[in-house]
Amino acid sequence: MSKSTRVTEKGQATIPKELREKYDLEPGDEVVWMDTEEGIVVKKRTRTGGRGLLVPDEISTEKREEVADELSQRVRDRRDRNYEEN
């Protein structure tokens, strides 16, 4: 899916409704803007440590992000299956 929006004078951009729903983005959620060789990548911030993932403290940040990404994908897959069943 590819959607485009405009950046306002204040530097704000609207996330298209279809993508907000697909990635379960709600008001107050944070997104991370990453500069990559491919261009800008925007990801929903996942909580790590504390109230977030239950992984040992000695796990690296990269590994925590991998675990968070995998869990997020599982949640999306489960939501998509439930949506298709109804």
Could you give the domains of the chain? 1-45 (2.10.260.10), 46-86 (no CATH)
Task: Spell out where 1-86 has E strands.
Answer: 31-36, 39-44
What pTM does this model have?
0.49
Q: What is the pLDDT along the chain (86 residues), one digit of tens a residue?
A: 788 999 999 999 999 999 999 888 999 889 989 898 889 988 888 765 444 556 666 677 788 788 888 888 888 888 888 777 76
- Chain mean position to CA 16: 14
Distance between CA atoms of residues 9 and 28, nearest Å: 21
